[in-house]
Amino acid sequence: MTRMVRLPDGTEVPALGQGTWHMGENAGRAEAEAAALREGIAHGMTLIDTAEMYGDGGAERVVARAIAGLRDRVFLVSKVYPHNASAAGVARACEASLKRLGTDRIDLYLLHWRGNHPLAETVGAFGKLVAAGHIRYWGVSNFDTSDMEELAALADGGRCAANQVLYHPDRRGIEFDLLPWCRARGMPAMAYSPLGQAGRLLRSPALASVGARHGVSAAQVAIAWSLRDGNTISIPKASSLAHVAANAAAGAVRLTAEDLAEIDAAHPPPPRKQALGML
């Protein structure tokens, strides 16, 4: 059974989705990348995350190929560049993303990170897109707790549906204050790069040990770990069918208290406030 996470209004979305960072950068790989995304949809990973930044729009075009004929099965997430986050810029960027994605709506539209345009202006532009039916929900990415508090104080700032942040066992700083803040408001976090970078995390003896108990890989343990609290959406990327199947299987792994204690010992939770990690 597919794990689900609730948005603040109660809408359920898959907890385990698919990322597309670095997709769409090579035309020769586009069909294989689209095939991997379609395979993920078949495995129940129907939440797909992309951005206008990825591959300079190329990832959105790959997603369009993947979801052709399947749009109504997919919860589609994309992101707007901060320099496009003015009132007029958001509307133009969303229109361009919709065209590249081959759809009339984006389910969740995120501000990729904070820029120079006032948050109130961006939120107002998001609200107009919702009213026009171009997006269903809006949210943010790479926002720390202070950013979220500033956002929440704005008129309509409380309509933020999610915050997408870097999160994996080696980058746990958000557990100190940001995750509790989101949880208290019924707002899910979206964990990007849940497998870490450059393979370092996947060489963790603790993840390997836990994986051995469950008969799965360290990568699958890392994904299962990111899903453990029931309020986090994890968006690992996979570019091969085998990798997609492995990611999907990770959604069925339930970590025990013993497993979590072993991971905590090797990758400890934060004892104090830490700077928000970002890629």
The tens digit of pLDDT for each residue in 71-90 reads 999 999 999 999 999 999 99
Q: Answer whether residue 94 shows pLDDT above 70.
A: yes
Q: Answer whether residue 260 shows pLDDT above 70.
A: yes
| Confidence at residue 108, expressed as pLDDT on a 0 to 100 scale | 98
| Confidence at residue 247, expressed as pLDDT on a 0 to 100 scale | 97
pLDDT band at 277 (very low <50, low <70, confident <90, very high): confident
Q: Answer whether residue 34 shows pLDDT above 80.
A: yes
Query: Is 167 part of the annotated catalytic residue set?
Result: no
Q: Answer whether residue 279 shows pLDDT above 80.
A: no
| Global pTM value | 0.97
DSSP code per residue over the chain: ---EEE-TTS-EEESB-B--TTTTS-GGGHHHHHHHHHHHHHTT--EEE--SSGGGGHHHHHHHHHHTTTGGG-EEEEEE-GGG-SHHHHHHHHHHHHHHHTSS-EEEEEE-S--SS-HHHHHHHHHHHHHHTSEEEEEEES--HHHHHHHHTSTTGGG---EEEE-BTTB-GGGTTHHHHHHHTT--EEEESTT-STTSGGG-HHHHHHHHHHT--HHHHHHHHHTTTSSEEE-----SHHHHHHHHHHTT----HHHHHHHHHHSPPPSS--PPP--
| Domains of the chain, start order | 13-201+232-254 (3.20.20.100)
Of 50-54, 237-241, 264-268, give the lowest mean pLDDT range: 237-241
pLDDT band at 100 (very low <50, low <70, confident <90, very high): very high
| Confidence at residue 16, expressed as pLDDT on a 0 to 100 scale | 98
The tens digit of pLDDT for each residue in 102-149 reads 999 999 999 999 999 999 999 999 999 999 999 999 999 999 999 999
Query: What integer is the mean pLDDT of 22-51?
Result: 97
Query: What integer is the mean pLDDT of 152-168?
Result: 97
Alpha-carbon torsion (16, 22, 23, 28), positive or negative: negative
The tens digit of pLDDT for each residue in 187-243 reads 999 999 999 987 899 999 999 999 999 999 999 999 999 999 999 999 999 989 999
| Confidence at residue 1, expressed as pLDDT on a 0 to 100 scale | 66
d(Cα 53, Cα 78) in Å, to the nearest integer?
10
- Which residues are CB-neighbours of 12 under 8 A, at least 6 positions away? 4, 5, 6
pLDDT above 70 as % of the chain:
100
- One-letter identity of residue 209: S
